[in-house]
Structures are given as C-alpha cells and as structure tokens.
Chains A and B, each alone.
Chain A
Amino acid sequence: MKIGLLILALFAFALPASAGLSSIEDRAEAVEAQTEGNNSYHAHLARKFAFIAVDEKGQHDLAAAKEFINMAEEHAAQAGGSK
C-alpha cells in the first residue's frame, strides 16, 4: 500500500514536467519565429531567454528551462510579433 502511494506521488510530481504540450525546444523555436526580424528590447530578450531555456534543458535543469521559456514567451508577447 505504502509503495503504491509513493509511486503514485512520484508520478504525480513528475507529471507537470512532461505535461507541457510542447517541448522546450518547440517553444523556443516558436519564440524565435514570433520575434523574427523584430529588434526591440523585448524581442531580443525573448530570444535570449529562449536560448537559455534550451541550454538549461541540455543541462537537465528542467525547472529552470521552464522558467526561462515562460519568461521568453512573456517578452515575445510584449515585443508585438515579428517585423
């Protein structure tokens, strides 16, 4: 019983990490596409954060990767799209 609960808990906490509909790389590519040709501060920052997110994922720090890709998407939205 205990083992079952522990395994359930383990999966429950693991789920959010894999529940994202897109991978970090996919989201980073979307940020790139969304800000292509846009040279505003927010567009530059969005691309930088997306790069860091992919790098962090490469270092197996998924929490950091998700935080940076979220920031990238916020700034991409503020950048007002591609130019």
Chain B
Amino acid sequence: MIKRLILITSTLSLAACAGHSMDTERSELAEARDAIAASKAAGAERCAPKLQAEAVAAFYWAAHEYTEHDIHPDENAELTERAVAKAKAAKAAAGKNCAPPPKPKPKPVEIIKLDGINFPHDSAELTPASIAILDNAVATLKRRAKINVEVAAHTDSSGKDSYNQALSERRAASVMNYLASKGIAANRLTSKGYGETQPITSNETSDGRAQNRRVELRVMN
C-alpha cells in the first residue's frame, strides 16, 4: 500500500513538472494573436504602451490557461476577449498618439552677414545707410538666383524679452519686404525675428550689444 502511494505521488509530481505551461499557437487564440500583431504594427508599443502590455499579458495568461484542458472555460474565454479588446484599444490609441514627429526645420547652410544695417530706436524703418547695404544684398541674391534665404533679425538684451522679440520680427519683415520690392521673388524669402535669444557676443558692453543687434540672411538650401 505504501509503495503504491509513493508511486502514485511520484508520478503526479513528475507530471506536474513536465511540459510547457503555455501554448500560444492554439487556434482559440488566433483572433487575439492577429489583433496584437495589428496593434504592434500600428506602433502601440511606443504610443499606447499600457494598453498593448495589457493585451499581451492577457494573451499569455490565456495561452497558459488553455493548457489546463478547459478546467476554466469561462476564464479562458474572458482572458482571450480581454486580449482582443485591449489590442484593439491599443491600436486605436496608437492611431491618435502616433502622429509622425514634426519634420526638423531646415538648418541654414550659410549665413550672409549684413553688417551696418541699423534702425532708429524702437523702429523697423530702414535708414538710408541700411538701404545701401541691402542693395548689395539684392545684387547678391540676383546673382545667386537659386538660393532661398531667411531674413533673421536679432536684438541685444536691453529691454523686455517680449518687446525685443516683437521688434526683431518687425525689422526682419521690413528687410524682407525691401528685398521683395527690389525684385527678389517672394517665394525665396522668409523672415524671422529671434529677439535677444541668439547673441553672438556678451551683452555686458555697448560694443557687444551693437554686435548682437544685427540682421543676417540665412541661406536655407
């Protein structure tokens, strides 16, 4: 009797240790498998990570439960349905969250400095001296007819940031309009004010501030 008992116990123990406790290839899991593959392809791992993880976890749990030979058929079905539902939700969320990242703005390949361009205080009007310099720029742009440029205007750090930003935008637009008025095609020109954000030297001295107050043409192609 004792021998039989030990034999039975041993057999049961070995059976419990044997085999894999998951079967992910079962036909009952086909829908969940497909749904998870679709959500993964839609970028859900990156854009809806929690939902995708829940779908995959439910899938593997169901894959395990099915190896228990339908001991809990309701539980198996519930886990499979949960995997499908989560995967579908992950795919939908990925569709919303996975917008392609914005294209990087083109970086200038060359900067044409327009030394000597000045403006009256708090003004975007071009002085006669500045116009002479811009006429040289017009000639350059006509000679190099294939380049597109951004007119970039900068200020020093005196005054409020917001004021400097607005002023630089007006000055950049003023220069761009002048270039366009002299026959440079508008589709080759853009303007941008950078305010005081891009100093080229210290703003501690008057000389430094003068260098930082500048306009330049940024060749974008």
Question: What residues of chain A have their CB less than 8 Å away from a CB belonging to chain B?
Answer: 2-3, 6-7, 9-10, 13-14, 16-17, 39-45, 47-49, 51-52, 56, 61, 63-64, 67-68, 71
6 contacts between A and B (CB under 8 A): A3-B6, A10-B10, A48-B56, A52-B57, A67-B21, A67-B64
Which of B13, B50, B53, B64 meets A10, CB within 8 Å?
Answer: B13
Interface flag for B60 (CB, 8 Å): yes
In the complex, which of the residues B14, B20, B64 contacts A13, with contact meaning CB atoms closer than 8 Å? Answer: B14
Q: Report how far A61 CA is from B3 CA in the complex, Å.
A: 27
CB-based closest 8 A-B pairs: A44-B53, A48-B57, A41-B49, A45-B53, A41-B45, A64-B21, A63-B21, A44-B50
Binding site secondary structure of chain B:
helix
Q: Are A49 and B60 in contact (CB under 8 A)?
A: yes
Min CB distance A73 to B, Å, is 14
Number of interface residues of B (CB under 8 A): 26
- Tell me the dominant secondary structure on chain A's binding face: helix
Q: Which of chain A's residues have a CB closer than 8 A to the CB of B7?
A: 6
Quick check: A41 and B16 within 8 Å, CB to CB? no
On chain B, the residues within 8 Å of A68 by CB distance are 60, 64
* A49 and B57 contact, Cβ closer than 8 Å, known pairs A39-B49, A44-B50: yes
CB of B144 to closest CB in A, whole Å: 49
Query: Do B13 and A13 have beta carbons less than 8 Å apart?
Result: yes
Whether B16 and A63, one on each chain, are in contact in the complex, defined by CB atoms closer than 8 angstroms, is: yes
Query: Closest approach, in angstroms, between the C-beta of B217 and any C-beta of chain A?
Result: 44
B9 is an interface residue with CB less than 8 A from chain A: yes
C-alpha gap A25/B157 in the complex (Å): 60
User: Which of chain B's residues 13-40 have a Cβ closer than 8 Å to chain A?
Assistant: 13-14, 16-17, 20-22
Task: Report Cα–Cα, A40/B53, bound state, in Å.
Answer: 9
A63 to B50, CA, bound (A): 26
Q: List residues of chain B with CB within 8 A of the CB of A42.
A: 53
User: In the complex, what residues of A have CB within 8 A of residue B99's CB?
Assistant: none
Q: Are A3 and B3 in contact (CB under 8 A)?
A: yes
Q: Does B109 have its Cβ within 8 Å of any Cβ on chain A? A: no
Q: Please name 8 further chain A to chain B contacts, defined as beta carbons within 8 Å, in addition to the given A13-B14, A13-B17, A45-B53, sorted by A numbering.
A: A2-B3, A3-B3, A9-B14, A14-B13, A39-B50, A43-B49, A44-B54, A68-B60
